[in-house]
Amino acid sequence: VYGKASFITFIFITILTISYLFMIGTVDFRSHFSPFLQSHPSNWVPPCRSLSPLRVYMYDIPRRFNVGMLRRGDSDESPVAEENLPPWPRSSGLRKQHSVEYWMMASLLYNSNHSDSKKGDELGMMEAIRVFDPEIADVFFVPFFSSLSFNVYGHNMTDPVTERDKQLQVDILKFLRESKYWQRSGG
């Protein structure tokens, strides 16, 4: 009787632990098994793929609008570059939901420094590339981590630190409205 109860308790605790790990997002088995889950022919092209990558102009803005929020006290105002891009915090917990902005920026930074060394077929497989001439851009990307800013500074909406989130939004809009490309397109 005790053996059966112990076994059932062990199974319950194991299932509970695994569920918890998936909920907090620290374990992701999909990345380990994804090569086995995808079986496409070698000449398969995703239906949304175009022949050329999306040309993205990314504004160079001070770090306080993006990676400066990852570490308190980061007062460096220079724009982030591939060489000084801090790693995404491993223990980010719920902030992981805001990491899309980080990874998009990191991808553009990395690809902008390495796209000239890629062969034509590799370049064609890229979804997006960073361009430094706004005149040839298909889209513009402002690497402002707005959702992270709200989570870090504005989530209580009553604390004095909430003003920092509001000020960042005011500052980024001022910066953009002064841009000739924003003025040309009306935003």
State yes or no: pLDDT of 33 exceeds 80.
no
CA–CA gap between residue 52 and residue 47 (Å, rounded): 14
Q: Round to whole Å and give the CA distance between 150 and 157.
A: 9
DSSP assignment letter at 79:
B
- Give the pLDDT confidence score for residue 155 in this predicted structure: 67
| pTM metric for this prediction | 0.65
Output the furthest CA–CA distance in the chain (Å, rounded): 78
Please report which confidence band the pLDDT of residue 34 belongs to, taking 50, 70 and 90 as the band edges.
low
Q: pLDDT tens digit string along 130-175?
A: 999 999 999 999 999 888 888 777 766 677 777 888 889 999 999 9
In the chain, domain spans: 2-37, 54-185
158 or 32, higher pLDDT = 158
* Average pLDDT across the chain, whole number: 79
Per mean pLDDT, which range of 26-40, 92-106, 109-123, 135-149 is the poorest?
26-40
Is the pLDDT assigned to residue 68 strictly greater than 90?
no
The DSSP bridge partners found for residue 141 are 58
Contacts of range 178-187, beta carbons closer than 8 Å, 24 or more positions apart: 179/59, 181/57, 181/134, 181/140
Q: For 177-187, what is each residue's pLDDT tens digit? A: 999 998 988 87
